[in-house]
Amino acid sequence: MKRCFGWCSSGAGAGAGESASREGGGGSVESRDGLLWHTDLKPHSSGDFSIAVVQANDSLEDQGQVLASSSATYFGVFDGHGGLEASRFVNSRLFAHLHGIDALVLFFNGSIIFLFFSVGFITLFFAEFASEQGGLSVEVIRKAFTATEEEFLQLVKQSWRSRPKIASAESCCLVGAIADNVLYVANLGDSRAVLGRQGADGGAVVAERLSRDHNVVEKEVRRELTELHPDDSRIVTYNRGAWRIKGTIQVSRSIGDVYLKKSELSGDALYQKLAAPVPLKQPVVTTEPSIRIRDLKQNNLFLIFASDDLWEHLSDEAP
């Protein structure tokens, strides 16, 4: 199978050696019709990629990123809520804790990645945490998420009095990495990764979900929160037609949402002018990613990485 990467999202296309974003104006768009546009196949270090976009509006909170080097591919979808700050910050920092200086980084704004691959051509090079521990691992990925969260917390602490809304900015994070024919999928929030693999004896393509939705619409997530907060009878409530954590949000894991992690912010008078206070005894949202590892096989055809904007309308099998 031809080695090929492609994604459908809301950003601008980039060729080898270029970076692009919708707002930054980089890259080259080959066909555009209002908020619908695409680029044809272009080469990068591991094959070819293309981009197609159906964009809801000119201002998006979602961000995405693909990192490609001579030996690696690394990709993520960052679904922002409550402002642009968290998703943009994650887009600029998370990969920096992992990738090598020889990498080509392709940026785009958006919420969907389609990734097509063949087995046997990728090893991943890392600069920071991975070099300390001899390569990619679950611990390396967790350290990268933790470091990004801590850096964003420092930004919030430094700027929230002039920009109080930054305390409620958050980003779901769905990250994939392929190294030595092994796929790592790390997830915070309700973006989702689905693998398409050839069915037995060349049968129809089978969809396999590779991530867990950290959304209280899921009964298991509600149960998990109730067990973690046994003294809080209102940790999850049905509010405004949906299950919500403390009556506010639906995702239980994210980067950001500082007002749901630091009681001194949610209880501050300045923040309370913008939002109802959320009394906290302990953080109610975490930054612990769910991580899944699997060996890639010859019958693995493609990956779809997308935010909940897609999965709210389509089943795993529909794409």
pLDDT surpasses 60 at 6: no
Is residue 315 pLDDT above 70, yes or no?
yes
What is the C-alpha to C-alpha distance for residues 308 and 112, in angstroms, rounded to an integer? 9
Mapped onto helix, strand or coil, the DSSP state of residue 310 is: helix
Closest CA to 11 of 79, 68, 75, 58: 58
pLDDT of residue 207: 94
What separation in angstroms does the CA of 263 have from each of 142, 232, 256? 24, 15, 14
State what percent of residues in the chain have pLDDT above 90: 37
| Minimum mean pLDDT range among 6-10, 18-22, 112-116, 142-146 | 18-22
Report pLDDT digits (tens) over 115-135. Answer: 554 433 332 333 455 555 556
End-to-end Cα separation, the chain, in angstroms: 20
Q: What is the H or E stretch that residue 139 is in?
A: helix 138-159
pLDDT higher at 228 or 57: 228
Q: Would you state the pLDDT for residue 102?
A: 40
In DSSP terms, 65 is beta-bridged to 76, 107
Average pLDDT, stretch 247-270? Answer: 88
Token pair in block for residue 164: 């109080």
**Position 112 pLDDT exceeds 60:** no
| Strand (E) or helix (H) holding 208 | strand 206-209
The structure's pTM equals: 0.81
3-state secondary structure of 306: strand
**Dihedral-angle region of residue 34 (phi above 0 means left; psi in -120 to 50 means alpha; beta otherwise):** left
Three-state SS at 146: helix
DSSP structural state of residue 296: -
Say yes or no to pLDDT of 223 above 90: yes
* 101 has pLDDT over 60: no
More confident residue, 315 or 119: 315
Q: Which residues contact 115 (CB under 8 A, 6 or more apart)?
A: 5, 6, 7, 73, 75, 176, 302, 303, 304, 305
Section 174-190 average pLDDT = 90
